[in-house]
A and B are shown apart, each in its own frame.
Chain A
């Protein structure tokens, strides 16, 4: 049996897939809530069709708010259950080693789209700098998700409270909350497309994808993709 290294707790796996499910539903319902010709992301009849499906814009808003509150509650629950895991995650994703990580990021982008020959043509060594627990691509998306997620949740709560407790003097805040909610979701979504491809479709990361169900990765994968982490755990085992 190949040697395995534990990467994710059960609570980590839960919050990942819970977050993914919420994001999918919140995106689908949220896009349907934007209906202004200047903004409508697809410039289509989607908002109209979705509103008809659920019996009006008010119902769609209620569904979106309900899922959004459940999403926030899920994260609060996760923090209560595994605060240590969350702190480890945050420390890892925000620890950037500029030279090493930028070089990795730029080379990886060329490798994934144009291939190693393109790097060689530019006179660059196509091998990638060693990466730690997360590679720079994962870190960049995690950073965007964390910062974006906090902005999305906070602005979401402001909008939720708008017609429940907030007065007219707060409407400047509420209006900015609408705008920031939209921008933050848009930016994280742009990263999400790459995240889904890299994790679920690209064959290279297949063991990483599987670990989001099983919790652990094979030794070879850890050594090949996360050398600095592998060095650390290997040294610890000796």
Chain B
């Protein structure tokens, strides 16, 4: 059986911008005031009445896209954020995350934020507590038009997998300047889909990555020096004593 990849498929044509998903997520996950794990982006032009051509109502629900190539994971020094090999989810280990914030600018979709209460990185986690209880993620469950389908797109037997297979040719994704291959797919017209920015890894993390080989080389050099001294001690027989003066022995 193919590896799992949990994903969200959204029929944008069914979205009515009611924001029930945004609210349900906030309540289910106790997201602090003023912070949100998901969003609905309206099209650039507001819908207008009158004869064609007129601005159509187009809405684009979104959140963490549990990317195939997550730049947030590359920005995390400890592996507190990682891509779960079993399910394909991008997970935050809250016990290990200290809230250094590296991953936040590294997400081209701005899906991450530093939770004001936990002081750790936060984002959509597909509601693991609900899934453990056999329920769908809160946003999926609450959607009145059933615009959202969640599941394993590698399992053709699942709703999400079947929908994904049937519509593969016309599914769209949000494009970002840094291609992270997101696992959030849209059916219908989700409006502008090229708003993703460049993934920014903070200068401090870049410095850490660049210094790593230098540090390794210095430690290696020091280790070689120690080996050279040990070799001389063991094999050269004399430590040089008597051959030179350590101090001015009169």
Q: Give A contacts to B, CB under 8 Å.
A: 33-36, 38-39, 41, 47, 56-61, 109, 111-117, 119, 126-128, 130-131, 159, 162-164, 166-168, 171-172, 174-179, 182-183, 186-187, 189-191, 193-194, 197-198, 201-204, 223-227
| Residue interface bits B37-80, CB-to-A below 8 A is 1, else 0 | 00000000000000000000000000000000000001011111
Q: Give B contacts to A, CB under 8 Å.
A: 74, 76-80, 93-102, 104, 113-114, 116, 118-120, 202, 204-205, 207-209, 211-212, 215-216, 218-219, 221-223, 225-226, 228-230, 232-233, 236, 238-241, 243-249
Q: How far is the CA of A203 from the CA of B246 in the complex (A)?
A: 14
Are B79's CB and A128's CB within 8 A? no
| B204: chain A residues within 8 A (beta carbon) | 172, 175-176, 178-179
Q: How far is the CA of A202 from the CA of B239 in the complex (A)?
A: 9
| B74: chain A residues within 8 A (beta carbon) | 36, 38
Are B229's CB and A163's CB within 8 A? no
**Shortest distance in angstroms between A234's beta carbon and chain B's nearest beta carbon?**
12
Q: How far is the CA of A134 from the CA of B247 in the complex (A)?
A: 13
| A176: chain B residues within 8 A (beta carbon) | 204
Are B99's CB and A174's CB within 8 A? yes
Are A186's CB and B100's CB within 8 A? no
Are A163's CB and B93's CB within 8 A? no
Given A41-B215, A175-B202, 20 other A-B residues pairs in contact with their CB atoms under 8 A: A33-B78, A36-B77, A39-B77, A57-B78, A61-B78, A115-B236, A115-B243, A126-B245, A127-B244, A127-B248, A128-B247, A131-B247, A159-B98, A164-B119, A167-B116, A178-B100, A179-B205, A186-B218, A197-B229, A202-B233
A193 touches which one: B94, B226, B245 (CB < 8 A)? B226
| B229: chain A residues within 8 A (beta carbon) | 112-113, 197-198, 202
Are B95's CB and A56's CB within 8 A? yes
| B99: chain A residues within 8 A (beta carbon) | 162-163, 166, 168, 171, 174
B219 touches which one: A35, A61, A117, A190 (CB < 8 A)? A190
Are A58's CB and B232's CB within 8 A? no
Are B222's CB and A194's CB within 8 A? yes
Are B249's CB and A224's CB within 8 A? yes
| B238: chain A residues within 8 A (beta carbon) | 115
B96 touches which one: A58, A115, A171, A204 (CB < 8 A)? A58
**Shortest distance in angstroms between B241's beta carbon and chain A's nearest beta carbon?**
7
Are B243's CB and A112's CB within 8 A? no
| B120: chain A residues within 8 A (beta carbon) | 163
Closest residue on chain A to residue B101 by CB atoms: A171
A39 touches which one: B95, B212, B218, B245 (CB < 8 A)? B212
| B230: chain A residues within 8 A (beta carbon) | 197, 201
Q: How far is the CA of A223 from the CA of B248 in the complex (A)?
A: 9
